[in-house]
Amino acid sequence: MTSLLLDHLAAFVPLEILELQKQGGPDEWHFEEARRRWQALDFQAHEAVQYAMPKFTSTTIANLVECLAVMAFCPGGVRFGPLHFEGKREHNENTI
């Protein structure tokens, strides 16, 4: 995996996680959309190691960032290569 891709993910996935946290975390729509986009990416994480940054389009990278940010809210977070992301839902006293 190229350093440029890892650097990009390390910078932008946490920002996307923060945006989701401001909204109270991802809802069912976010998870369904992430699932659809991940399938559209049409690769497995271990295959991404073989790809060079120039082979990714800006749309592909944006989808990857959004998918990883949503998956970061799953128990234990998400790992992509050497990176690990974990989102925390803010608990509100008024939520059940």
pLDDT tens figures, 7-58: 999 999 999 999 999 999 999 999 999 999 888 776 555 455 455 555 667 8
Enclosing domain of residue 40: 3-83
The pLDDT value recorded for residue 47 is 54
Q: Specify the pLDDT at position 61.
A: 86
Structure tokens at 87: 């989102």
Q: What is the pLDDT of residue 43?
A: 58
CA 15 to chain centre: 10
Quote the number of domains for the chain: 1
Confidence of residue 66 (pLDDT cuts 50, 70, 90): very high
What does the pLDDT read at residue 41?
A: 76
Rounded average pLDDT over 85-94? 74
Contact 48, 81 (CB under 8 A): yes
Question: Would 25 be classed as within a structural domain?
Answer: yes
Residue 88 lies in a domain: no
Residue 95 lies in a domain: no
Question: Which pTM value belongs to this model?
Answer: 0.79
The 3-state DSSP composition of the chain as helix, strand, coil percent (nearest 5) reads 55, 5, 35
Main-chain phi, psi angles of 85, to 5 degrees: -125, 140
